[in-house]
């Protein structure tokens, strides 16, 4: 899919629910355990509150024994109580009234009782070491220790594992009633062929061991996001009927040192206990990036985790029935030690679906919604090139949402058309207020893009041109290839550059100046010309040579050391060649649109009036043959 716009400035069906636990509530007694813990916490809080409330009534001043004797001689001691642990509590009479105090007798004082009698102090004895008093004083602390022990046990036995920092966070999927198999994965014939061997080993390991064959320890699923890597891994477990443990690469790394390595050890130990099983690590690049690429001198927490994973994969044997499967969309950043034989020694490419596979995917997801007559999944598949399985699942869902908003009971072709436009073009902002002058300028810009689709020989057919704002763009001209294309020729790239220049030249012809809306077009054209010269060897003056990769991932410490791969003189030649290509394309684009100025103006007027035109309407407006005749006529009017 290609877009020219006027800018004012992983899985096919998602994650399947656990059939054994459809409600999503943690299994076991987690809910009742949490309720008991809450009740205990409330009781404990009330006990502490009562203890502090009653113990805090009045301020009791602790004074030295010598101060007590001085107050006694001064006649300021009123009534006291002497406890069996040699503590004295009483009141001191002062100017502000009676103040409570307490003190402790540091030695056996035989003259204390005589002095008290002589001063007329009322005294009595007391006991503090009774079992009831000790129990009341210790009860809150006993309950606190018991509550912490109960909470620790609950968290380690339940699903949370709040205190088990070093325990693996792998989720176990148990497929009882509904299990995922290869039939639930549309297309991907080559990938499924490679993975069927793993399924066969899990079902019948003796067949391989009898011949001395060794099944791969690890399988790495490589593909773009949304192509169904996780779904394929679950399908392997469903086909083999074994346990499936799922964990993300980011789950290994925490702020605590050593936690990641501990979790790796626990994951492999968990796999051995539940063998035969599949251990699946999603987004492996989060923990498996090349070592020595950071500031930490190759000894940060992530690299310790990776080192432990390498050791564990060397240590466990496939005879245990444990298969490691990982998924990533960045295999270029993985550490080479992960990819050597004996670890992830088999890479399975999960590619973007072709038109046949897209139709199969649409039928799988379309079976889940009520469809009206006339829905053609083959047509939709041909109109959505370059989309992943997740995109197609989202398209079916969006179509159902459009039908629900319209109050329909069936999802019809118009709803799929709206969903496709939303997926390809973005959300239409029909409420955006645009002046008539700016609307016409946008129509002129988009007409320049659209007209060039019919004037150039190596272009994809125009799908739709619109001046209704979508996303950040005020207008858009979208072209779709007639079939899946996996490589592009130099002629197509040059024509594509000319199409991106169409809006710029159209504004220049009609208004004598351009606007900021051409910024995105200029960026696209410049990037294509730069790659043609520097990466794809499509320049006659530069020839067969590559001068750096613009999209190469940046590794801190690596890019700083690397120098330019070419001299300053060669850099000037590259810039001159890029500018030469752009100037030549701009000159030809200007010549074409000047010769077709009447058609350009006619197309602009139609866009101002109707706002959106498809390929059929544009052809009728310009007097061109229908699209069906385009394939049979070698020389259709294009110039």
pLDDT-based confidence at residue 24 (cuts at 50, 70, 90): very low
CATH number at residue 335: 3.40.50.300
Handedness of CA 245, 250, 251, 252 (dihedral sign): positive
- Which tokens in the block code for residue 72? 């006694």
- Write the Ramachandran bin of 26: left for phi over 0, alpha for psi from -120 to 50, otherwise beta: beta
Q: What is the pLDDT of residue 307?
A: 80
Q: What is the pLDDT of residue 10?
A: 39
Compute the distance between CA of residue 508 and CA of residue 522 in angstroms, rounded to an integer: 14
Compute the distance between CA of residue 207 and CA of residue 200 in angstroms, rounded to an integer: 9
pLDDT digits (tens, 9 = 90+) for 290-319: 876 554 444 466 777 788 888 887 765 555
Q: What is the pLDDT of residue 290?
A: 80
Place of tokens 């380690």: 156
Compute the distance between CA of residue 310 and CA of residue 291 in angstroms, rounded to an integer: 12
pLDDT-based confidence at residue 628 (cuts at 50, 70, 90): low
Q: Going by C-beta distance under 8 Å and a sequence separation of 6 or more, which residues neighbour residue 268?
A: 279, 312, 315, 316, 322
Q: What is the pLDDT of residue 558?
A: 46
pLDDT greater at residue 77 or residue 527? 527
Say if CB 532 and CB 489 are below 8 A apart: no
Compute the distance between CA of residue 268 and CA of residue 324 in angstroms, rounded to an integer: 9
Compute the distance between CA of residue 158 and CA of residue 36 in angstroms, rounded to an integer: 14
pLDDT digits (tens, 9 = 90+) for 243-271: 888 888 777 766 556 677 777 888 888 88
Assigned domain for 77 exists? yes
**608 and 592 within one domain:** yes
Minimal CA–CA distance to 344: which of 288, 418, 302, 261? Answer: 288
Assigned domain for 431 exists? no
- The residue from 288, 319, 349 where one domain ends is 349
Minimal CA–CA distance to 637: which of 611, 619, 615? Answer: 619
Assigned domain for 430 exists? no
Q: What is the pLDDT of residue 342?
A: 78
DSSP label at residue 371: B
Best mean pLDDT range from 94-108, 110-124, 215-229, 422-436: 215-229
**408 and 468 within one domain:** no
Assigned domain for 11 exists? no
**281 and 194 within one domain:** yes
Number of structural domains (the chain) is: 5
Compute the distance between CA of residue 257 and CA of residue 166 in angstroms, rounded to an integer: 10
Assigned domain for 20 exists? no
**595 and 467 within one domain:** yes
Percentage of the chain beyond pLDDT 70 is: 75
Q: What is the b/e burial string over 128-145, where b = at least 16 CB atoms within 10 angstroms of the residue's CB?
A: eeeeeeeeeeeebeebee
Helices 597-610 and 615-622: crossing angle in degrees, nearest 10, is 130
Compute the distance between CA of residue 444 and CA of residue 508 in angstroms, rounded to an integer: 10
Beta-carbon-side half-sphere exposure of residue 275 (alpha carbons within 13 Å): 17
pLDDT greater at residue 96 or residue 572? 572
> Is 185 a residue whose pLDDT tops 50?
yes
CATH number at residue 413: 1.10.8.60
For the whole prediction, is pTM greater than 0.85? no
Q: Going by C-beta distance under 8 Å and a sequence separation of 6 or more, which residues neighbour residue 534?
A: 546, 547, 548, 550, 574
Residue 80's DSSP bridge partners are: 90, 123
Q: What is the pLDDT of residue 500?
A: 93
Q: What is the b/e burial string over 187-196, where b = at least 16 CB atoms within 10 angstroms of the residue's CB?
A: bbeebbebbe
Residue 446 annotated to the active site? yes
Compute the distance between CA of residue 98 and CA of residue 575 in angstroms, rounded to an integer: 96
The mean pLDDT value for 37-46 works out to 70
Cα torsion for 517, 518, 523, 526, to the nearest 10°?
Answer: 180
The mean pLDDT value for 611-623 works out to 86
> Is 579 a residue whose pLDDT tops 70?
yes
**570 and 453 within one domain:** yes
> Is 586 a residue whose pLDDT tops 90?
yes
Which phi and psi angles does 167 have, rounded to 5°?
-85, 150
Q: Which of 239, 301, 446, 577 is the catalytic position?
A: 446
The mean pLDDT value for 360-387 works out to 87
pLDDT digits (tens, 9 = 90+) for 335-350: 888 888 878 878 888 8
Q: In what order do the strands lie in the sheet with 475-479?
A: 2-6, 475-479, 462-466, 612-614
Q: Which of 93-97, 277-281, 399-403 has the lowest mean pLDDT?
A: 93-97
Residue 245's DSSP bridge partners are: 172, 279
**441 and 421 within one domain:** no
pLDDT greater at residue 435 or residue 618? 618
pLDDT-based confidence at residue 557 (cuts at 50, 70, 90): very low
Say if CB 639 and CB 588 are below 8 A apart: no
Compute the distance between CA of residue 462 and CA of residue 450 in angstroms, rounded to an integer: 7
Q: What is the mean pLDDT of the chain?
A: 76
Assigned domain for 17 exists? no
Q: What is the pLDDT of residue 131?
A: 58
Residue 5's DSSP bridge partners are: 476
Instruction: Please report the beta strands in 34-121, taking only residues with DSSP state E, as ranges in sequence order.
Output: 61-62, 77-83, 87-94, 97-104
User: Rounded to a whole number, what is the distance in angstroms from the first to the last CA of the chain?
Assistant: 24
Q: Which of 134-138, 382-386, 529-533, 559-563 has the lowest mean pLDDT?
A: 559-563
pLDDT digits (tens, 9 = 90+) for 313-369: 776 555 566 788 888 888 888 888 888 887 887 888 888 888 888 888 899 888 889
Best mean pLDDT range from 16-30, 135-149, 334-348: 334-348
Best mean pLDDT range from 114-118, 179-183, 409-413: 409-413
**374 and 303 within one domain:** no
pLDDT digits (tens, 9 = 90+) for 500-551: 999 999 999 988 898 888 888 999 999 999 999 988 889 888 888 888 654 4
- The residue from 392, 425, 458 where one domain ends is 425
**66 and 42 within one domain:** no
pLDDT greater at residue 139 or residue 418? 418
Q: What is the pLDDT of residue 18?
A: 42
Q: What is the pLDDT of residue 208?
A: 78
pLDDT-based confidence at residue 592 (cuts at 50, 70, 90): very high
Residue 410's DSSP bridge partners are: none
The mean pLDDT value for 584-608 works out to 91
Q: What is the pLDDT of residue 153?
A: 65
Q: What is the pLDDT of residue 495?
A: 92
**404 and 485 within one domain:** no
Q: In what order do the strands lie in the sheet with 322-328?
A: 171-173, 243-248, 277-282, 322-328, 218-222, 346-349
CB count, 10 Å around CB of 595? Answer: 12
Compute the distance between CA of residue 62 and CA of residue 89 in angstroms, rounded to an integer: 9
Cis before 276 (ω within 30): yes
Compute the distance between CA of residue 168 and CA of residue 269 in angstroms, rounded to an integer: 9
Residue 465's DSSP bridge partners are: 477, 613
Q: What is the pLDDT of residue 218?
A: 83
- The residue from 404, 425, 446 where one domain ends is 425
Q: Which of 15-19, 163-167, 255-259, 299-303 has the lowest mean pLDDT?
A: 15-19
Q: What is the pLDDT of residue 576?
A: 92
**181 and 316 within one domain:** yes
CATH number at residue 95: 3.30.720.210
> Is 389 a residue whose pLDDT tops 90?
no
pLDDT-based confidence at residue 15 (cuts at 50, 70, 90): very low
Say if CB 188 and CB 228 are below 8 A apart: yes
Percentage of the chain beyond pLDDT 90 is: 11
Q: What is the pLDDT of residue 505?
A: 93
Compute the distance between CA of residue 381 and CA of residue 357 in angstroms, rounded to an integer: 8
Q: In what order do the strands lie in the sheet with 77-83?
A: 61-62, 97-104, 87-94, 77-83, 122-126
> Is 160 a residue whose pLDDT tops 70?
no
Q: What is the pLDDT of residue 255?
A: 54
**300 and 177 within one domain:** yes
Tell me the residue range of the domain where 371 lies.
355-425
Q: What is the pLDDT of residue 487?
A: 83
Best mean pLDDT range from 96-100, 323-327, 402-406: 402-406
As a 3-state breakdown, the chain gives helix, strand, coil percent values, each rounded to 5, of 50, 15, 35
Compute the distance between CA of residue 226 and CA of residue 361 in angstroms, rounded to an integer: 12
**331 and 293 within one domain:** yes
Assigned domain for 22 exists? no
- Which tokens in the block code for residue 545? 């040579």
Assigned domain for 6 exists? no
The set of long-range contacts for 75-81, using a CB threshold of 8 Å and a minimum separation of 24, is: 75/119, 77/119, 77/121, 78/121, 78/122, 79/121, 79/122, 79/123, 80/116, 80/121, 80/122, 80/123, 80/124, 81/123, 81/124, 81/125, 81/126
């Amino acid at each position: 899919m290609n877009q020219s716009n006027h800018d004012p400035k992983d899985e096919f069906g998602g994650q399947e629910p656990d059939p054994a636990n459809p409600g999503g509530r943690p299994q076991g007694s987690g809910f009742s355990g949490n309720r008991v813990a809450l009740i205990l916490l409330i009781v404990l809080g009330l006990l502490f509150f009562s203890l502090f409330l009653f113990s805090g009534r009045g301020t009791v001043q602790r004074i030295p024994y010598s101060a007590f004797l001085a107050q006694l001689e001064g006649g300021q001691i009123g009534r006291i109580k002497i406890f069996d642990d040699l503590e004295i509590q009483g009141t001191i009479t002062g100017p502000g009234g009676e103040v409570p105090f307490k003190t402790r007798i540091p030695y056996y004082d035989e003259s204390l009782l005589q002095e008290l009698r002589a001063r007329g102090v009322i005294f009595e004895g007391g006991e503090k070491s009774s079992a009831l008093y000790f129990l009341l004083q210790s009860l809150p602390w006993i309950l606190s220790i018991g509550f912490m022990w109960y909470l620790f046990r609950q968290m380690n036995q339940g699903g949370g594992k709040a205190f088990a920092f070093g325990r693996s966070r792998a989720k176990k999927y148990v497929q009882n009633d509904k299990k995922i198999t290869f039939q639930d994965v549309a297309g991907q014939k080559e990938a499924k062929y490679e993975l069927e061997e793993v399924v066969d080993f899990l079902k019948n390991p003796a067949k391989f061991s009898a011949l001395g064959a060794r099944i791969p320890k690890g399988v790495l699923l490589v593909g773009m996001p949304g192509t169904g890597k996780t779904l394929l891994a679950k399908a392997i477990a469903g086909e083999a009927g074994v346990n499936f443990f799922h964990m993300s690469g980011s789950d290994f790394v925490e702020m605590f040192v050593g936690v990641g390595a501990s979790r790796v050890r626990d994951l492999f130990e968990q796999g051995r206990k539940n063998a035969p099983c599949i251990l699946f690590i999603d987004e492996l690049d989060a923990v498996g990036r090349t070592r020595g690429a950071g500031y930490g001198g190759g000894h940060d927490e992530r690299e310790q985790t990776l080192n432990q994973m390498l050791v564990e994969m060397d240590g466990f044997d496939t005879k245990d029935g444990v298969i490691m499967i990982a998924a990533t969309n960045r295999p270029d950043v993985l550490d080479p030690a992960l990819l050597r034989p004996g670890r992830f020694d088999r890479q399975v490419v999960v590619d973007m679906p072709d038109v046949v596979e897209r139709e199969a995917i649409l039928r799988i997801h379309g079976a889940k919604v009520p469809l009206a007559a006339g829905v053609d999944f083959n047509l939709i598949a041909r109109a959505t090139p370059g989309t992943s399985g997740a995109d197609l699942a989202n398209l079916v869902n969006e179509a159902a949402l459009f039908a629900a908003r319209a109050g329909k009971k069936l999802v019809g072709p118009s709803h799929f058309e709206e969903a496709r436009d939303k997926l390809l073009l973005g959300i239409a902002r029909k409420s955006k207020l645009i002046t008539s002058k700016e609307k016409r300028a946008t129509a002129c810009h988009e007409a320049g893009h659209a007209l060039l689709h019919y004037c150039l020989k190596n272009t994809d057919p125009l799908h739709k041109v619109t001046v209704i704002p979508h996303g950040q763009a005020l207008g858009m001209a979208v072209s779709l290839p007639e079939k899946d294309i996996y490589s592009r020729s130099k002629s197509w790239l040059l024509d594509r550059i000319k199409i991106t220049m169409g809006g710029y030249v159209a504004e220049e012809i009609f208004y004598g100046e351009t606007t900021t809306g051409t910024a995105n077009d200029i960026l696209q054209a410049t990037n294509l010309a730069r790659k043609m010269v520097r990466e794809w060897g499509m320049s006659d003056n530069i020839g067969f040579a590559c001068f750096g990769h613009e999209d190469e991932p940046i590794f801190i410490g690596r890019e700083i050391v690397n120098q330019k791969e070419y001299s300053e003189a060669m850099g000037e030649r590259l810039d001159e060649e890029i500018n030469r290509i752009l100037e030549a394309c701009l000159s030809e684009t200007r010549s074409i649109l000047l010769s077709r100025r009447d058609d350009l103006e006619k197309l602009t007027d139609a866009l101002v009036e109707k706002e959106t035109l498809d390929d059929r309407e544009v052809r009728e407006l310009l007097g061109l043959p229908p699209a069906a005749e385009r394939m049979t006529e070698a020389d259709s009017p294009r110039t």
